[in-house]
A and B are shown apart, each in its own frame.
Chain A
Amino acid sequence: MSITEHNEHRPVTAETADLSYVLAVNAALRRALDEVPEVILYGEDVAKGGGIFGATRGLASAFGDRVFDTPISESAILGSALGAAMLGRRPVVEIMWIDFALVALDQIVNQIANTAYVSRGRWRAPLVIRTQQGHLPGACAQHAQNLEAMFAHTPGLRVGLPYTTQDAYDMLLSAVHCDDPVLIIENRSLYFRERVPVAVNGPVQPIGAAAVRRAGSDATVVAWSAVLAEVLAAADELSGEGIEIEVIDLRWLNPLDEATVFASVRKTSRFAVVHEANLTGGFGGELVARVAERCLGDLDAAPRRVATPDLRIPAAPHLQQAVIPQVADITASLRQLVSE
């Protein structure tokens, strides 16, 4: 089913609701279940318990057997989602932490991602995997990783990381309506942020498109997900010193909106990328390479990456702070970038 078909289902009336990030996820899931009869929603603790973070609260009682709890069996969750998607359902499954996707990586990389290509499009896998990642103080090394680059390295899989509360709603709906398999990676540090007005019931957007969160002329910084809070704080601080940073929220790693990045770099002539994931093989390396390939002549300084060093993640909060990018690390790196 295409996006336009779905939009024809009901008249679009603009509405806003005051929602936290996790409530925006909940609202998007509710709308998807409501509007798309093929959607089924399942995962560990999602039905009766309403999700370990409450993202699916109230959905089982509203939608009956289209929402159900599963055993702790990630391979079966993902494999069944693939098979059901091939036979006309649009499964939305939850993998509680991205770290747990690793016990079922085969279903994502060898199975889901291959389906459309190898069948020359005779099979499609219109499914959504919702998960979340990132560190929080005290979270252990198996609950604190940022693995987006690993999935962006998997052709065939769409990958989005909503940062704003509006995007938590919009990107998830876009994912449900997309005919490709989509991995939506949320960040649990955002779930309980303050409520903001969210436009609900608007048109479903196509997947893709980065967003400029802050305009600036001195350097372009690309980031995504929770670390954008630190990047925006750093940009505010630098603004007080007369340095204006343009901050781009990449939103989607696949499809990748290079055009927005290149246009900004051509304007500012300086480029940096910030991510919580560790440096080597991080998606920042890919962006720096593309900027170098396409905008080298526009650059006045070497591009920079701010990332966690190549380490496992320690649990103790003070040790985490010593390695995960903080506002001061970002401002320091950007001050150097603009002074070169």
Chain B
Amino acid sequence: MSEPRETFDADDLRELHRMMAVLRFLEERVKELRLAEEVRGSVHLALGQEAVAVGACAALAPIDTLTATYRGHGWAAAKGVPVVAILAELLGKEIGTNGGRGGSAYLSSADHLFLGENSIVGAGAPIALGPALASRYDGSGRVSLTVFGDGAINQGSVSEAFNFAAAFALPVVFVCENNGLSELTRIDEMVADDQLWRRAGGFGLPGVRIDGNDPVAVRTAVREAVERARAGGGPSLVEAMTERIAGHYIGDHELYRRPGEVEAALTREPLVRSRQRLRELGVSDADVDDVERGARDEVDAATATARDAELSQSSTVREHMYVDH
């Protein structure tokens, strides 16, 4: 793994910590709402994976676009989508990102250039070629970032996207969020070479594996890739190593876990790690508690607003299929 070459100070890390805490509390809230059946259907939590979304989005400019996966509530929030709009979407409210049409696994926000989550594994990678292609014609300097899981790398569409982007030097950043698992299956049993970043070389794009539980390391690697892409240097692959500390979906019995795996992951998850680092930078635990309290208040307030909001109107359910309807 490459070391972060970027310097950071306590204020910088405190802000990254705050954003990761927002994502953490958002997912915990989603879990509660799902268990209470206020939210229905599958929800896929990114608990433990907050540093990837926060670090990567911190390296993006507002003109840059993002495609993500069903495990994308945190990516949406990190891209700037208000937490209240995300929660309201899951609750089927009019003020939700998609007025309940998208739901937990397929939400998007045009206002934030969040092209959306995707519930078809690997589908976001080809789509992400498009904003990059468009930037060639519109001169915007836009970079397109796409995130997918380790398992998704075995989907043909992802390989097609690697080559297409590399062949035309498109400004795309591919982020592979490697949590070691695809639902109930371990990635190392599904590939002969589990150094997934090495696939990049075969397509002629730079690849790097980084510590995905360190938001600074993620930001550094993604920033480098974004700058290269913006300067015309083409696409890159960043493999961010992380761990999901929850089931694939709520109700997952997680029988595929090895003994002690989750316990070990809990000692190195992003919030624990960054609290430790803040301590080393002289930020007291009480200060960090304050930061986290602020994040929790934000999620609580968003929850209250989302709960109080109106359900989306059934009478409009047939609208928007075509431009003139």
Contacts and interface: CB of A to CB of B under 8 A. Distances in A.
A89 interface: no
Interface string A321-338: 111000000000000000
B124 to A, nearest CB: 12
A167 to B, nearest CB: 26
Contact of A103 (B102, B156, B255, B314): B156
A69 B314 contact: no
A311 B40 contact: no
Contacts of A319: 92, 100-101, 312, 314, 317
Contact of B103 (A74, A75, A316, A318): A316
B120 A138 contact: no
A310 B322 CA distance: 11
Instruction: Please indicate which of the listed interface residues B70, B123, B183 has the most CB atoms of chain A within 10 Å of its own CB.
Output: B183
| Chain B interface helix/strand/loop/mixed | loop
B41 A141 contact: no
Contacts of A45: 182-185
A137 to B, nearest CB: 4
Given A316-B100, A322-B317, A142 B39 contact: no
B151 interface: yes
Nearest to A52: B183
Interface string B220-252: 000000000000000000000000000000000
Interface string A58-102: 000000000001111111000000000000000000000001101
Interface string A107-143: 0000000000000000000000000000011111111
Contacts of B284: none
Nearest to B100: A316
A230 B151 CA distance: 38
Interface residues of B, number: 40
Interface in A255-288: none
A315 B101 contact: yes
Contact of A69 (B101, B102, B157, B189): B189
B318 A323 contact: yes
A49 interface: yes
A228 to B, nearest CB: 23
Given A48-B184, A103-B155, A141 B255 contact: no
A138 B39 CA distance: 8
A278 to B, nearest CB: 11
Contacts of B157: 103
Interface string A290-321: 00000000000000000001111011111101
B154 interface: yes
Contacts of B272: none
A145 B154 CA distance: 24
B72 to A, nearest CB: 12
A140 B314 contact: no
A44 interface: yes
B105 interface: yes
Contacts of B101: 141, 312, 314-316, 319
Most central of A102, A138, A318 by chain B CB within 10 Å: A138
B118 A142 contact: yes
B92 A143 contact: no
Contacts of A142: 105-106, 118-120
A141 B318 contact: no
B195 interface: no
B311 interface: yes
Contact of B105 (A73, A136, A140): A140
A44 B103 contact: no
A137 B190 contact: no
B42 interface: yes
A142 B121 CA distance: 11
A81 to B, nearest CB: 16
Given A72-B190, A100-B120, 12 more contacts: A45-B185, A49-B256, A72-B182, A99-B120, A103-B120, A141-B101, A309-B318, A311-B317, A311-B318, A317-B40, A318-B100, A319-B101
6 A-B pairs closest in CB distance: A138-B41, A315-B103, A49-B184, A316-B100, A316-B92, A138-B40
Interface of A: 44-45, 48-50, 52, 69-75, 99-100, 102-103, 136-143, 309-312, 314-319, 321-323
28 contacts: A45-B182, A48-B256, A49-B184, A50-B184, A70-B190, A74-B155, A103-B123, A138-B103, A139-B41, A140-B70, A140-B103, A140-B104, A140-B105, A140-B106, A140-B119, A141-B101, A141-B102, A142-B118, A315-B100, A315-B102, A315-B105, A316-B92, A316-B101, A316-B312, A319-B100, A319-B317, A322-B314, A323-B317
